[in-house]
A and B are shown apart, each in its own frame.
Chain A
Amino acid sequence: MQFFGGSEISPSPPVPTASGNNAHMMYIFNRNGVCLLYREWNRPLRTLDSNQDHKLMFGLLFSLKSLTAKMDPSSTEKGNLGVPQLPGQGCSFHSFRTNTYKLSFMESPSGIKIILVTHPKASDLRESLKYIYNLYVEYVVKNPLYTPGTPIRSVENLIDFNFHYTIGPEASYSTQLLTNMCEVSDDLAQVSLLQHLVYNG
């Protein structure tokens, strides 16, 4: 009953036209469930408004983490399902894949969760997630004007977040990104700087 045959019935997404990862969406949450950053590059279908979407995503991951830790056959702990876990304790899941997307997840012991939704054929993205975490540290944590625990607002921080996914063949995404950034900042000088940085590395 579950198997309806291959791709004739369930539509699969278009194969990526260029090399490199095609990220659809990215979320960054902190340990209290606050969505620090949400970026989308390719999301044709939106079913919920953004607040509910963030809550859904956070809740999904919270529950999945809890489940995977409790189902761990190699663990010796006998905790009950639902007992709060320390971040990073027990086994941690890192991705799940459906026929239309792959969701990769990374959580640091300080509770920062990074989620990347990509094309299902994407390879293991743990290195990319670590890279994003490093960028988060460099440009957000070290920014003295940023209050920890609040959504990331500053435009400059976005530049590097998207470098990895917008350099070279992904130029269409970078244009979309620049348009997004224009909505945030009206400063033309800033936009041209961004353009320069994105296209020239």
Chain B
Amino acid sequence: MAFQSLTTPKSDLLLALKNGLCMNKWPVAAMDTQRLDMAKDYVKVLQEKFPESKRVGRLEALLLEAMGLWEEAEKAYSSLLEDNELDPVIHKRRVAMAKAQGNISGAIEWLNKYLEIFMADHDAWRELAEIYVSLQMYKQAAFCYEELILSQPTIPLYHLAYADVLYTLGGIENLHMAKKYYASTIDLTGGKHTRALFGVCLSTSAIDQLTKGRNKDDKENSQLASLSATALGKDYKQRAPNKVSLLASTLRSLKLSS
């Protein structure tokens, strides 16, 4: 869609817009590709056609945002919100604006307020989790990832991210949990996810390091680690044979340190 709008001559497009085709997508596409002049034209055409429309109002505000005029955009969004307090798109645009301006804490604030109302929106939870991770607020990020796992438990990506966060948090409990979540990722992806395999090895060695003195449970933990090591070896042999030695030495150092 975006490429089409860029290559066909301008007059045709304006005519098409006047007849109401794809009114939302072309201006957005133009803005995505930074053709702000074209976007302005589109929006003007739409404004003439639909003077009091909410959607056109949103597009205008989007245009202001794309042009970098933050205050005007903010004003436009607030006025739109007065008309319709519960438009999720506008709320999200506000968050995006805050993020684009570098005001991450403001973004977090807006996003939290949004999530208080729309708490079943998993995209928003994901965004919040990523923001927290970027700010190294791992406990909150863990909470967000739990929400994600709750809403969509069969997506291995969330398990993996949660395991990463737990591993980063550290501490014996969290490491055990991280290992379990890496294992569940392996299960969900049929054993082929390299990162999860590495995660299992690393968390096992970290746990061993921490419990060096105790020697309590020798249950079956070694299986998982050795199995994933073997699987990793196989995988590397198939896909990157010149790195097999690197892998072998890494794994050996992990085991040695435990």
A binds B: no
List B residues at the A interface (Cβ < 8 Å): none
List A residues at the B interface (Cβ < 8 Å): none
